[in-house]
Structure 1
């Protein structure tokens, strides 16, 4: 990751541009704007310390969907596209293996082919339930 210093008013992402980085905010604030077909830009969100932005263009290989501008002197950490995708793929692969192993031990699903269990594993979501007295 590379540190990026952004002065107030600096545009870090421009809607429609190619996305090369995912950003994590260390300090400062950013406003996020979307412009729809010739209309003026509308503020849709803000981002501050501990938050991130820019992942959609990297995940879906699509143009940036918003413009992001620093509203105060800010510090970001930027992770390039290749590293972001590699981390995402490694995490997805590990999770898929854990789910597939779990599904292979469920008696009701033993008759499924491996590819069928993998398809199920790709669609599972973890849910944490809190025990309440």
Structure 2
């Protein structure tokens, strides 16, 4: 019996709220759905959508501990975004000071992809579809 319908959202805790908010909205192009400051937790919660679909909750907390986030570390490996033109997406990121790894080709699908990092080192992927 299948009980899951889809992925609802991805939650990310950032170390510098303003820097991460700028990265996800101005550089990657997510739309702000809602932004709230939760005074009792000294925490922001920013709900973000991509093409009208709600998908990321960006949180800030005072002094969050660092997390190992290399792609081969145990836990979440990376978050991947589909792009129509990988070269154009890489150029956009590089124009905004974001370094991408060399482009690789998926040996099974023949599709091209690359990795880059968010401001806290979370591994992100662009996958050309």
- Shorter-chain TM-score: what band? under 0.3
Pick the structure with more strand per residue.
Answer: 2
Pick the structure with more helix per residue.
Answer: 1
Q: Which has the higher contact order (CA 8 A, sep 6+)?
A: 1
User: What is the TM-score normalised by the length of structure 1?
Assistant: 0.20
User: What is the TM-score normalised by the length of structure 2?
Assistant: 0.21
Name the larger-Rg structure. Answer: 1
